[in-house]
Amino acid sequence: MRKILSLFLCLTLLMTLLAGCSGSETSSSSQQESETITVVDHGGITVEVPKQIDRIAVVGILPFPSVLAMYLGSAEKIVGMPPASMSAAEMGLLGEIFPEILNAETGYTNGSDLNIEELMKLEPDVVFYLAGNTQWQTALEGAGIPAVGISTGKWDYDVLETFENWIQILSQIFPEQSKTEKVTAYSQEVYDTIQERVSGLKEEEKKDILFLYQYDDKQIITSGKHFFGQFWCDAVGGRNAAEEIEAENSTAVINMEQILAWDPDVVFLTNFTAAMPEDLYTNAIGGQDWSTVQAVKNQEVYKMPLGSYRSFTPGADTPVTLLWMAQKVYPDLFADIDLEQEVKDYYKEIYGVELTDEQVQKMYNPESHQAEGLLR
């Protein structure tokens, strides 16, 4: 009987030990699984990124470092970004709000160039790159760096939808700081308000809008049908004067003859050009005569805001940029909106940032020199 009892106790002890080992393996496996997060990026590629991310680099998506900083409430984790992103941080508000971003490295990339060896020196935990660039994707994967593709054109250059999808993927990677619901709700509220107010416009009341993406003595570049300008025009109830240009990713070189034929009611100058409204009013660029264009005759030429980034593209300022633009195109329909207060409330409620009066004024009154550094 004692032998049977001893055998039983031995078997029980052995099973307990085996169960303990199995439990330990399961616990270890769970711990290992919990150290990464799996996401499907905008290129449809499944990527595993570390749950603990302390060092971030960006390649090719110029607005994205600003979106990251605003989303995270800090730029301390951003160790690398494109030179054009740095120039916007230096010239706009981002460097004031998060001065640590000015310490990021820029030497590993410029335009379409990527020096993978220099990037690896930064020891990034994750790299965000332009989705669809297979050369970058291959290089990053070959270097063993978790790489997440971010798209700018997947949603047919719908600026709001693009920005919301950027926030969604960041909310997956940094779930403890998720801003998806807040951003989506506010963006939708702004969009719906604008649509409600412009819905009663008759066709002849709708304004023709021209974007000058870049403008200097050598060339005039606008936004055609398949680029961000089309969204802005549609969203504020206007018409894109250059809509007939249907090439993909259609920034297009145009001439003064085309502009005179389109005769736009409103002209918006982006912060990708040093040109200012006064340059059109005084015919100061290239000897071109704007004096007969409706937008010039009626003094309806506007420089786009420069907040956390150049506002023509998707970015943290997108919803309030849309509100600003609607107010410029149809001032009578939006006269009751206190834009300055709206911007302050948006920054505080979404990003936890309290802007001063001076910062808001700087955002909506950019100067010519703030376009400098685009090609650095």
Average pLDDT over residues 164-175: 95
Is the per-residue pLDDT at 12 higher than 50?
no
**Band (124; pLDDT cuts 50, 70, 90):** very high
Is the per-residue pLDDT at 365 higher than 80?
yes
Full set of structural domains in the chain with CATH: 36-178 (3.40.50.1980), 183-371 (3.40.50.1980)
pTM: 0.88
Taking all residues of the chain, what is their mean pLDDT, rounded to a whole number? 90
Going through the chain in order, the beta strands assigned E by DSSP cover 36-40, 46-50, 56-59, 78-80, 109-110, 113-114, 126-130, 147-150, 208-212, 214-215, 220-223, 239-240, 251-254, 266-269, 301-303
The predicted structure's pLDDT at residue 21: 42
Question: Distance between CA 251 and CA 254 in Å, rounded?
Answer: 9
State pLDDT tens for residues 182-230: 999 999 999 999 999 999 999 999 999 999 999 999 999 999 999 999 9
Average pLDDT over residues 4-31: 41
State pLDDT tens for residues 239-252: 999 999 987 767 88
Is the per-residue pLDDT at 29 higher than 80?
no
State pLDDT tens for residues 261-308: 999 999 999 999 999 999 999 999 999 999 999 999 999 999 999 999
The predicted structure's pLDDT at residue 374: 55
**Band (25; pLDDT cuts 50, 70, 90):** very low
Average pLDDT over residues 102-121: 95
